[in-house]
């Protein structure tokens, strides 16, 4: 098993199917590293809700045919992304929502909380999120900057590797 793990939000996963998005090549590279077993992906369980909703919206806006969206959803389910329940990150989500001036039901905070609790980077395709917290939270990374070699092995905290004997 790989020693590299990252959290991905729905905006990254959507780039694997919505080809009119920015930074799809980098999102594809991350997916390829995951499928080759070089990288483990984690996400809160709300990822599934967000992906399903985004597929509905994509169909309504004419970005995808309904059959393509249904196929995309079945593909997302087949990926062995580690899912974390909200009860495991609820308190940290609350703390981060207060710290960054966001609501608790704002999905971004759950992804931030999971990445922080695991001590790994969060990759996002949401420029608004990256621009609002990326300078203050160095482990939040824009997917357009994805490079497998940059990801630290093991756990990280505040963008740097944790000491082994803590």
Q: Which of 135, 142, 101 is nearest to 6 (CA)?
A: 142
Give me the mean pLDDT over the 139-160 stretch. 81
Does some domain include residue 35?
yes
Does some domain include residue 166?
no
Q: Which pLDDT score is estimated for 152?
A: 94
Distance from C-alpha of 98 to C-alpha of 2, rounded to nearest angstrom: 34
For residue 127, the enclosing domain spans 5-161
DSSP 9: -
pLDDT digits (tens, 9 = 90+) for 42-56: 999 999 999 999 999
**How many domains does the chain contain in total?**
1
pTM: 0.89
Give 92's pLDDT tier (boundaries 50, 70, 90). very high
Q: What CATH number has the domain bearing residue 67?
A: 3.40.50.1010
Does some domain include residue 44?
yes
- Count helices and strands in the chain by DSSP H and E runs: 7, 7
Does some domain include residue 93?
yes
């Amino acid at each position: 098993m790989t020693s590299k793990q990252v959290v991905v939000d729905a905006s990254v996963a959507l780039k694997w199917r919505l080809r009119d998005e920015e930074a799809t090549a980098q999102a594809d590279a991350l997916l390829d590293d995951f499928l080759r077993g070089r990288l483990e992906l984690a996400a809160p369980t709300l990822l599934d809700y967000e992906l399903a909703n985004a597929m509905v919206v994509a169909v309504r806006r004419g970005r995808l045919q309904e059959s393509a969206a249904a196929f995309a959803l079945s593909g997302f389910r087949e990926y062995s992304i580690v899912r974390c329940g909200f009860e495991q990150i609820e308190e940290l989500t609350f703390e981060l929502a207060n710290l960054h001036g966001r609501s608790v039901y704002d999905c971004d905070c759950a992804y931030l909380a999971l990445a922080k609790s695991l001590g790994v980077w969060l990759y996002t395709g949401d420029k608004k999120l990256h621009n609002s917290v990326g300078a203050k939270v160095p482990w939040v990374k824009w997917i357009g900057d994805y490079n497998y070699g940059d990801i630290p092995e093991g756990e990280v905290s505040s963008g740097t590797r944790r000491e082994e004997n803590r």
